Every structure is written in C-alpha cells, then in structure tokens.
C-alpha cells in the first residue's frame, strides 16, 4: 500500500511478503463489528454526524454481504483485511468512509479482531470437547460389565473396569474444556482505543466500546494493549494439551484394534482400507489425531519463539500470530468431531476383553495384599507373592490355578478364601475408594459425569 510518505511502490516480492490478506481475511466479521463500534464512538466524540454514521454502518453491511456472497475482491495491494474493508467502504459511501479510521490504528484494530476471534474459537473448542466427553461417557455407561488389564510400562498390571479406563480420558478432557474456557476469558479484554501505541487522541469512550463489543474488561496499558498476544498462546496451549490427550487416547484405541488385543472394532465411518492388503481396516482417524498433535504443538512453539525477542510495542513480526491459531482452530474442531463419531460407532469385543485377563499374573498384588491383611509386612508379602509367580511359571499355570497346597508350601498363612480375594470380582471390589475401579465407584463417577454434561 502506498501513502504520502513514499514515492515508489513496493517491489512485487516485498508486497507479497508483507501482505496478510491471504489469511487475515478470516477476521472480516470481527473487523466489521469493531468498525461499527468505533464509528459510534466517533459519533459520540463529534467526529461523525448521525448521517455519516448511518452511511458507514450501511456501507459496512454491504461489504459484509459482498464477502458472504463471494463477490468481494480481496486485494494484496491493500495488504490486510482492515484496509480492504476500509477501501471498499470508501468506494461505497465516499467521504464518510475516509473518516472511519480517525484516532484508530491497525495496531489496536487487529488486536481487537484477534481477541474477538479467539474468544469465539476457544468457546467453540470447549463445546466440541464437551460433545466428545458425552460420547465417551455414553460408551462407558454400556460397558460397566467389561474388565480389561490395566497396564504400567505397557505390561499387564491389574484388572480394571473398561469404563474406568474410558473415564480417565473424560477427566483429561474436562481439564482441556476448562483450559479453553480460561483461554476465552484471557481474550475477553478490549484493546480498542489504544491507538498505535499510546492511546487515542479524540477521547473515545473505551468503556462504551467494551460494552458494545461484549468484552468483560478493558486493557489498562496502551502499549501492552496493542502488543499482547498472551491470549493467543493460551489458546494454543489449551489446544496443545487437548491434542496430547487425544493422541494418548488414540494410541490406546490403536492398540485395542490390533489383532494382538482385539478389544474394540471401529466403524467403517472412521477407518480406511489398504491399496494392497485386502484384509486391512486401518484406524486412520486415530493415527491422524496422533500425527496432527505435532502440528498443533508446533504452532504454540512458533508463536512463543516469535514473541520472545519483541520490544514494545507493535512489530510486524506479530503478523505471524494468526495462521497458527487459525490452523489450530480448524484442526482441533475437525479431530474432535471425528473422534466423537469414532467413539459412538466403536464396538467392544467382550469375548476378547474377557480372555485378556488370563495370564500375565494380574492377581499377584492381590496375593501380596491377602498376606498383608494377615499381618505380614508388605515387603515380605511382596516377596512371597513373587515366589508364587515363580512357582506358577515353573508349573506353567496361572495364579488362580495354583493349588492351595502349593501356596501353603510357600507360606502357611494361605487359606481357601485366597481364591475369592484374587478373583477378578474380588480385585475390583477391593478398590472401593474415591477414584477407584470398584463397580460402585465407577457407577458413581458415571452418574456424576452424566449430570455435569447435561
């Protein structure tokens, strides 16, 4: 864009590098909303007449209609969405349009647009997370009778209710949902009226701007107002944590769908075949969620790196703040929607989950706990239980199949009630504490989540 200060226009490659209209046109709704509020502020300050305000607002409505219909001609020559809209407005309404930018800078204008966008994006993300949570809770509700091995170090550890495992991810998602709500709150501060860097010179009523644009508060320092992008980092951090959790969930599902596990079957809606191998049904939705995690985390690191060396106040480096947020917004909404479909269409293979409890000596801790309840110090009980496992390995049997005589040859404290204590039902019932996997505790958590997610 040329102005009175310059005799020559930009070189073509510099113009392309400098222009942001290719991506910041996504702000057009927020830009028009902010411009209308600013025009009303100019009326109150005596800069605009009532007739000019009406012309400007009517012209902005026409610009919005052109953009929505696809008729608007976005120009790289005009650099960004702000100048594109202002130039078209001036074509439509003449002199009144040229007055709109009085006292306003693109610095506070873009900061306002970006905050409005992030508020909306974070709210949409929290709602989408809530829908996935509802889908997971619904599946957990139908699977209260299913038990699988819990793993540590990817080795079988103890029996756990499948519902309990699923609800672990609901806990993670609830933290993500709250982080997005917090990110929306961090964006809920109005910088409009900060000018280029030190405030506007026409006494525009910023409190009224805040109210009209639906912000919860005003920025208290004009330098910070135009340069702060913490709210964008907050959104990207919330998204990064969400994607880390979705990646972990996806990894579990990928393992569960393998022939080696076979715990679940995924619907055709979220899987693909192979171009070569006819038997394949690939968990592509999960793999894409896992893969796109790096993309989202990368956007957070990119913005943090961009911000780390910037002096106050606005610098053109901040043009790099938007594309990562836009891409992240699209990515997380797409992944959340697909995973909600995946969970809703997922089928649990009860035969395979039941069979998975055989072998692996999942009952070993139960053996140690049994002795501990008889007064034997846990470390000693732990060693004795390890001896029982060793004896099973020598005989090629499981702990429930080892005879009482064999147990008693290791320690005289073993009695017939051991076998009830180390049964799957006994192992689950034994964990009857808040946060435990006992059936009653899982049922309470399900009721809690159903109530919270109404």
Catalytic (active-site) positions: 153, 274
Residue found under tokens 């592509």: 284
Among the listed residues 148, 114, 183, 130, the one whose alpha carbon sits nearest the alpha carbon of residue 333: 130
Distance CA 96, CA 98 (A): 5
Query: 341-358 burial, b if ≥16 CB within 10 A, otherwise e?
Result: bbbbbbebbeebbeebbe
Half-sphere CA count of 259, side-chain side, radius 13 A: 3
**Tokens found for residue 399:** 């702990």
Neighbours of 176 (CB within 10 A): 26
Residues whose CB is less than 8 angstroms from the CB of residue 386 and which lie 6 or more positions away in sequence, other chains included: 364
Please name the helix (run of DSSP H) or strand (run of DSSP E) that holds residue 225, with its range, or none.
helix 222-227
β-partners of residue 217 are 189
β-partners of residue 161 are 147
Distance CA 49, CA 73 (A): 29
Residue 8, sorted as left (phi over 0), alpha (psi -120 to 50) or beta, turns out to be: beta
**Tokens found for residue 155:** 């080795």
Question: Any idea how long the chain is?
Answer: 454
Residue 313, preceding bond cis, omega within 30 degrees?
Answer: yes
Alpha carbon 453 to chain centroid, angstroms: 17
Residues whose CB is less than 8 angstroms from the CB of residue 343 and which lie 6 or more positions away in sequence, other chains included: 132, 135, 136, 138, 139
């Amino acid at each position: 864009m040329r102005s009175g200060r310059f005799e020559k226009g930009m070189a073509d490659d510099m113009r392309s590098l400098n222009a942001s209209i290719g991506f910041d046109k996504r702000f057009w709704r927020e830009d028009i909303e902010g411009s209308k509020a600013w025009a009303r502020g100019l009326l109150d300050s005596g800069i605009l007449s009532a007739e000019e305000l009406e012309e400007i607002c009517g012209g902005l409505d026409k610009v919005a209609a052109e953009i929505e219909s696809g008729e608007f001609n976005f120009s790289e020559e005009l650099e960004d969405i702000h100048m594109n809209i202002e130039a078209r407005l001036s074509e439509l309404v003449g002199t009144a349009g040229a007055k709109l930018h009085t006292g306003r800078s693109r610095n506070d204008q873009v900061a306002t647009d970006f905050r409005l966008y992030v508020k909306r994006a974070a709210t949409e993300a929290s709602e989408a997370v809530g829908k996935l949570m509802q889908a997971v809770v619904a599946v957990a509700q139908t699977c209260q009778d299913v038990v699988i091995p819990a793993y540590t170090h990817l080795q079988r550890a103890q029996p756990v209710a499948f519902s309990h495992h699923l609800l672990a991810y609901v806990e993670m998602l609830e933290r993500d949902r709250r982080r997005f709500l917090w990110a929306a709150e961090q964006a809920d501060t109005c910088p409009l009226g900060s000018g280029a860097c030190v405030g506007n010179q026409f006494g525009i009523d910023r409190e009224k701007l805040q109210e009209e644009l639906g912000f919860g508060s005003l920025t208290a320092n004009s330098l910070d107002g135009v340069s702060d992008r913490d709210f964008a980092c907050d959104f990207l951090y919330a998204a990064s944590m969400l994607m880390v959790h979705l990646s972990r969930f996806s990894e579990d599902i990928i393992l569960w769908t393998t022939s080696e596990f076979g715990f679940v079957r995924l619907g055709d809606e979220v899987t693909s075949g192979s171009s070569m191998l006819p038997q394949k049904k690939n968990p592509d939705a999960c793999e894409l969620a896992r893969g796109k995690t790096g993309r989202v985390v990368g956007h957070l690191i990119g913005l943090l790196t961009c911000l780390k060396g910037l002096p106050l106040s606005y610098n053109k480096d901040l043009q790099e703040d938007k594309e990562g947020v836009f891409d992240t917004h699209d990515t997380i909404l797409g992944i959340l929607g697909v995973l909600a479909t995946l969970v809703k269409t997922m089928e649990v293979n009860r035969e395979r989950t039941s069979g998975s409890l055989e072998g692996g000596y999942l009952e070993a801790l139960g053996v140690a706990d049994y002795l501990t309840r008889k007064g034997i110090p846990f470390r000693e009980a732990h060693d004795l239980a390890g001896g029982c496992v060793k004896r099973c390995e020598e005989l090629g049997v499981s702990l429930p199949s080892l005879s009482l005589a064999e147990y008693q040859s290791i320690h005289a404290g073993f009695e017939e009630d051991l076998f009830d204590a180390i049964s799957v039902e006994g192992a689950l019932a034994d964990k009857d504490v808040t946060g435990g996997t006992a059936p009653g505790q899982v049922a309470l958590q399900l009721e809690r989540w159903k109530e919270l997610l109404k």
